Amino acid sequence: QIDYTGTEPSSPCNKCLNVSWDSPTPCTCTINFTLEHSFESNVFMYYGLSNFYQNHRRYVKSRDDSQLNGDNSSLLNPSKECEPYRTNEDKPIAPCGAIANSMFNDTLELYRIDNDTRIPITLIKKGIAWWTDKNVKFRNPTGDGNNLTALFQGTTKPVNWRKPVYMLDSEADNNGFINEDFIVWMRTAALPTFRKLYRLIERKDNLAPTLQAGKYSLDIAYNYPVHSFDGRKRMILSTISWMGGKNPFLGIAYITVGSICFFLGVVLLIIHHKYGNRNTSADIPN
């Protein structure tokens, strides 16, 4: 994990700490780090956020699923659940709602350093979203032709976005509402500290590790402000084994619930032995 929030004065990203949504140009910073062990199989790159409550009821409801599914009438007349991010300057917002408006927009690039030469690591941006989301729940508007600029005519971008939804990517199958970065963000997290899949690094050679041990650098286009709510941002590199990925949540949850049950069992046992031997006979003594 690489924390690049920049709250520490010595951090290369400290200069970007007070970046705002409407900054004319992104702030950039570079963090160097070392991998002590090689990553043998496919590698998953995540971005992580802390103290960000995506589970707030009004936040979770602030979206229009019909609009995201490509319904043309909802595109121009979004649901009132999207307020106050339903319209802007008398134009409907596409995509509307607080979830879309707060979409993560940092750009991360990874390089391996070999003899002072920076070698870019290929990051795959497709295949990061759930198949059902990509092919069922999210659809672009329909109409004559495949020109998204024309299909989204009459709408405006979310307030905090720098470009409209039809310019999220240059590839048609990853643009508009079916952009996978957007789809991943729209699946809200249950806890205030979470991570979301950002890119994939595929293994190309069975004889060589995907990421070999050594020096690396992370280039960051720092666009996403978190300092105002005491949040933190992280880049996470992870891989999987035959048992799957490392996720301690279930283990912690089971141990916690088991410990509580054991404690309550002991307490109830003591209460039973102390107070359970009372005379329950209904006979009235003389």
- Residue 248: the pLDDT is 75
- Residue 76: the pLDDT is 92
What share of the chain in percent tops pLDDT 70? Answer: 94
Residues 6+ apart with CB under 8 A from 170: none
More confident residue, 60 or 205: 60
Q: 18-40 pLDDT, tens per residue? A: 888 877 788 999 999 999 999 98
Please report which confidence band the pLDDT of residue 174 belongs to, taking 50, 70 and 90 as the band edges: very high
The Cα-based distances of 260 to 242, 248, 252, 256 in angstroms read 32, 18, 12, 6
Helices (H) and strands (E) in the chain, counts: 8, 11
Sequence spans of domains, the chain: 2-239
- Residue 77: the pLDDT is 94
CB atoms within 10 A of CB 78: 24
Please report which confidence band the pLDDT of residue 280 belongs to, taking 50, 70 and 90 as the band edges: low
Cis peptide before 209 (omega within 30 of 0): no
Please report which confidence band the pLDDT of residue 240 belongs to, taking 50, 70 and 90 as the band edges: confident
- Residue 283: the pLDDT is 57
Which of these, 176, 184, 83, lies nearest to 125 by C-alpha position?
184
- Residue 144: the pLDDT is 72
**28 strand-pairing partners:** 221
More confident residue, 145 or 118: 118
Q: 132-168 pLDDT, tens per residue? A: 999 999 999 988 767 899 999 999 999 999 999 999 9
- Residue 242: the pLDDT is 58
Cα–Cα dist 88/97, whole Å:
12
Cβ atoms of residues 200 and 176 within 8 Å: no
| pLDDT at 210 exceeding the cut of 70 | yes
- Residue 221: the pLDDT is 94
Cα–Cα dist 91/96, whole Å:
11
Which of these, 214, 167, 230, 196, lies nearest to 108 by C-alpha position?
196
Q: Name the DSSP letter for residue 121.
A: P
CB atoms within 10 A of CB 130: 14
Average pLDDT, the chain: 90
- Residue 23: the pLDDT is 79
66: helix, strand or coil: helix
Which of these, 87, 112, 113, 82, lies nearest to 98 by C-alpha position?
82
What value does the mean pLDDT take over residues 40-55?
Answer: 93
For the entire predicted model, the pTM comes to 0.83
Q: 242-275 pLDDT, tens per residue? A: 566 666 778 889 999 999 999 999 999 999 888 8
